[in-house]
Amino acid sequence: MELPHRAAGDVLLKPGELSRIRSRLRGVAGRHDLATVIACAYDHRTRMLPFLYSSMRIAPAGARAIGSAMVDSGFPKTRIVLQQWNRNFQPSRMRLEGRVPDLLLVSSMQIHTAPCRALIRDACRIDPGRRPLIIAGGPKVIYEPWDVFGTDRDDPWGADVAVTGEEYVLLNLLEVVLSFRADGEPMRSAFARARAAGALDEVPGLVYSVTDGKGVAEELVDTGIQRMAADLDELPHPVLGYGLIEPPSRAATLSAAPLPATRVARYSPIGSLVLTLGCRFGCPYCPIPAYNQRQYRTKSGPRIADEMRRLREEYGIQFFFGADDNFFNDPPRTLEIVEHLAGAQIQGAPFRKKVRWGTEVTVHDTLRMKDHLRTVRKAGVRALWLGVEDMTATLVRKGQSVDKTLEAFGLLRERGIATIAMMMHHDGQPLYTPGRPYGLLNQVRLLRKAGAVDVQVLMITPATGSKMYEEAFASGQVYARVAGRRVEPRMYDGNHVVASGERQPWRKQFNLMAAYAWVCNPLQLAIALARPNSSMYLASAAMQLTGMAGLIRTVRRTFGWGLRLMRGPIELLAHPPVSAIPMRSPDGGPASHAVPGTPMPRRIPVEAAR
């Protein structure tokens, strides 16, 4: 189920509002002296292809963005803890500058649900009088905010509030809570008074709990869909977030100081940056267009150049990945960016000599940009991830076909831009089709022949917030248990077949392994090294080495699941996961983030009826 839309004309913040709220917070920050820890949850069991390398070598953009927003709002006592590098971190033992932090912010994706809940549960072990205000956020919370609130009366735990939007929502929440906070008062106490006064209801993008005397949520109040910043140049500068990262360690506690600037590039040699957000395609399996309220938002060329330049000079980061939904989505805006970067300089040298970067695009939009690919290359772009999904457009139509796909890959290869194809395996697609480009291996072979240095293959899986999400459950395709083993959130990673209408779904699981084995093997490595005249041979060889290492790990973690699918039985889910806690809007109506089937409160409190 997609997120609902805000009313027309009320989707975006007023120009400059994101900058103004940071300015207002800086005006009161000195009186409050907040200490904040931002924990990014990570389940190490999800570390497989195609994200084996990137999951450990890129400091996530989301947690860093929140850290940058806190520092730019006047709260420099902020630390970012990445469970990728700090898997033993325990909030109950954290101290920042000798004290329990005032705020604990936990960010998570859906596949990292288990460690996210563990972090919140551990924080709730802190004595209530000293416990920080616990705020949950990230992609998991955007679509399933109820899942960070506990329901066990014997073991009460849960976040105090969930943020279902971007930086502005968090800052708006802080501004409201701080307006209620007395000098030295715990943030949880000020939050409770703001909640009781109904002040939180005026902050779109929150879900907070109304609890009983034991701290267990009796109902959840959803303040609606967020308003978003239209101009991404208003976002806080990412250079601030990189200075807050906790040094990698096996300790459960925090270090005395963040990771030194001279060591950041050692652990995060690739910097992830938000350049554009939004996509004009409406693929039924993708939640991105609805999340962005059908908006396309960008940063300017000068702002992007400044971000990369400062990160290069201050932290030594030379490689960047644009966390775009579709960078070529709007050619005029794309040209404005790449033309500026193509003419920019860093330390007196052309931009492309100092930094190299890549991002995600589509086949159709690559062909729309074909006359400008030289400029794209001059802007420093060295790799593009193309969302091919299915070359024959059987799964989804995004203007692609076999001929157009091969043309796009060929054009990029001619311009010296490495290509990585992103594929989706789906019901109805066999492993191989003689004489037709429909089979999975047929398409992988064509893409490699066209010049793709790597091919990523994932099984199409119901994504929360997408059009097809509820339908997949209703049609009896989503698994609850397989051979007695429960399907966990971490398994919604595209590497595990957890939803299929096929009678023999185990074939799909082994098809994924076969596709990766065809792409990553010693023969393909030898072929790559034997073609030194190709400008892509080194990139292809590097992909082969990491791919073979990742294939071993991926097979080890998914082969047993394939056997379970073969053995059965398979138990199905009749409906999507729903909140066990009643949810409502502030006025007592349906909650914006509630999935159909979510219970409504039996009665509406007096405050909600006002």
Residue 555: predicted pLDDT: 96
CA distance linking residue 468 with residue 472, whole number of Å: 6
Residue 6 is assigned to a structural domain of this protein:
no
The fraction of the chain above a pLDDT of 70, given in percent, is: 98
Residue 80: predicted pLDDT: 98
Number of domains present in the structure of the chain:
3
At residue 393 the predicted structure's pLDDT band, cuts being 50, 70 and 90, is confident
Residue 469 is assigned to a structural domain of this protein:
no
Residue 610: predicted pLDDT: 37
At residue 532 the predicted structure's pLDDT band, cuts being 50, 70 and 90, is low
- Do the beta carbons of residue 496 and residue 511 sit within 8 Å? no
Residue 398: predicted pLDDT: 85
Residues 21, 136, single domain; the answer is yes
The three-state secondary structure class of 70 is: helix
Q: Where do the H-state alpha helices sit in 252-401?
A: 261-267, 288-291, 301-315, 331-343, 351-354, 363-368, 373-378
Residue 363 is assigned to a structural domain of this protein:
yes
Residue 567 is assigned to a structural domain of this protein:
yes
CA distance linking residue 167 with residue 573, whole number of Å: 35
* 91-113 confidence digits (pLDDT tens): 999 999 999 999 999 999 999 99
Count the neighbouring beta carbons within 10 Å of the beta carbon of residue 559: 13
Range scoring the smallest mean pLDDT among 34-43, 419-428, 539-548: 539-548
Tokens of 242: 């990189």
Residues 535, 595, single domain; the answer is no
- Do the beta carbons of residue 494 and residue 51 sit within 8 Å? no
Residues 198, 286, single domain; the answer is no
**Residue 26: half-sphere exposure toward Cβ, Cα within 13 Å:** 11
Q: Where do the H-state alpha helices sit in 214-330?
A: 239-242, 261-267, 288-291, 301-315
Residues 503, 445, single domain; the answer is no
The fraction of the chain above a pLDDT of 90, given in percent, is: 89
Residues 426, 379, single domain; the answer is yes
Residue 603: predicted pLDDT: 61
* 126-141 confidence digits (pLDDT tens): 999 999 999 999 999 9
* 147-172 confidence digits (pLDDT tens): 999 998 888 899 999 999 999 999 99
At residue 604 the predicted structure's pLDDT band, cuts being 50, 70 and 90, is low
Residues 415, 485, single domain; the answer is no
Residues 54, 150, single domain; the answer is yes
Query: For all residues of the chain together, what is the average pLDDT?
Result: 94
Domain containing residue 205: 17-230+587-609
* 49-60 confidence digits (pLDDT tens): 999 999 999 999
Mean pLDDT of 583-608: 84
Tokens of 568: 């059965």
Tokens of 448: 């490699």
* 82-91 confidence digits (pLDDT tens): 999 999 999 9
pLDDT of 605 > 60? The answer is: no
Residue 86 is assigned to a structural domain of this protein:
yes
Residues 557, 598, single domain; the answer is no
Residues 422, 296, single domain; the answer is yes
Mean pLDDT of 253-267: 98
Residue 609: predicted pLDDT: 39
Range scoring the smallest mean pLDDT among 173-177, 253-257, 285-289: 285-289
Residue 1: predicted pLDDT: 79
Residue 237 is assigned to a structural domain of this protein:
no
Rounded to 5°, angle at Cα 422 from 241 and 167: 25
pLDDT of 226 > 50? The answer is: yes
Residue 535: predicted pLDDT: 61
At residue 215 the predicted structure's pLDDT band, cuts being 50, 70 and 90, is confident
* Distances, alpha carbon 165 to alpha carbons 143, 225, 510, in Å: 10, 8, 38
Q: pTM (2 decimals)?
A: 0.95
CA distance linking residue 430 with residue 444, whole number of Å: 13
Phi/psi for 482 (5° steps) reads -130, 120
Residues 296, 328, single domain; the answer is yes
Mean pLDDT of 583-592: 96
- Cβ-based neighbours of 44, under 8 Å, separated by 6 or more: 83, 84, 87
Residue 606: predicted pLDDT: 45
Residue 486 is assigned to a structural domain of this protein:
yes
Say if residue 499 is exposed, middle or buried (CB neighbours under 10 Å; 0-12, 13-18, 19+). buried
Residues 348, 294, single domain; the answer is yes
At residue 311 the predicted structure's pLDDT band, cuts being 50, 70 and 90, is very high
Residue 102: predicted pLDDT: 98
Mean pLDDT of 497-519: 97
* 468-506 confidence digits (pLDDT tens): 999 999 999 999 999 999 999 999 999 999 999 999 999
Residue 556 is assigned to a structural domain of this protein:
yes
Residue 534: predicted pLDDT: 58
* Domain at 421, CATH number: 3.20.20.70
Residues 309, 441, single domain; the answer is yes
Which one has a higher pLDDT value, 100 or 528?
100
